[in-house]
Copies of this chain bind each other. A is one copy, B any other.
């Protein structure tokens, strides 16, 4: 079975046969899979009427557990965006009624963002759709190999944490 990266490596090999292209075999596939995955996510979420960035924020709140509240600062660290972006996102999610802003009782500088009942329903539905779509992509991979893959990826990712 051949993929796009085989072509990529072949082309580079023709032009730069002096280089060891082994890293490309791994990292180029990771980048491309991430791009395809983004599109698959987008599709899965569209069916549930939410966008990827909305899911990122709602999912962080959902994972926090009841009462589903986090500060904007915490949210931006979870989702790796800047504060200006998070302000904008919370604005739009508030306008859609999926979250609400409340003053932080412990710190009068601060604000808490809380999932509404609709927000919780939306994120739960979207997450199930995402898992289903992802499970499809993995359907051809036997469980043993899937576990092996997860383990290898973990060993690459762990140094960053």
Chain A: interface secondary structure?
A: helix
Identify A8's interface contact among B6, B22, B63, CB under 8 A.
B63
Q: Is A141 an interface residue (CB 8 A)?
A: yes
The distance in angstroms between the C-alpha atoms of A33 and B154, with both chains bound, is 9
Q: CA of A157 to CA of B25 in the docked complex: distance in angstroms? A: 12
Size category, A interface = 35 or more
Chain A 118-161 interface residues, beta-carbon cutoff 8 Å to B: 124, 127-128, 131, 134-135, 137-138, 140-141, 143, 145-146, 148-150, 152-161
Those of A36-70 within 8 Å (CB) of chain B: 36-38, 62-65
In the complex, chain B residues whose CB is within 8 Å of the CB of A128: 19
Complex: chain B residue closest to A145, CB-CB: B152
Q: A36-B160, A131-B20, A134-B24 known; A152 and B154 CB under 8 Å? A: no
Query: Which of A2, A80, A153 has most B Cβ within 10 Å?
Result: A153
| From B14, B23, B25, B33, contact of A156 by CB (8 A) | B33
A107 in the interface (beta carbon within 8 A) = no
Residue pair B20, A135 in contact (C-beta under 8 Å): yes
Residue of B nearest to A36 (CB): B160
Question: In the assembled complex, which residues on chain B have CB atoms less than 8 Å from the CB atom of A36?
Answer: 157, 160
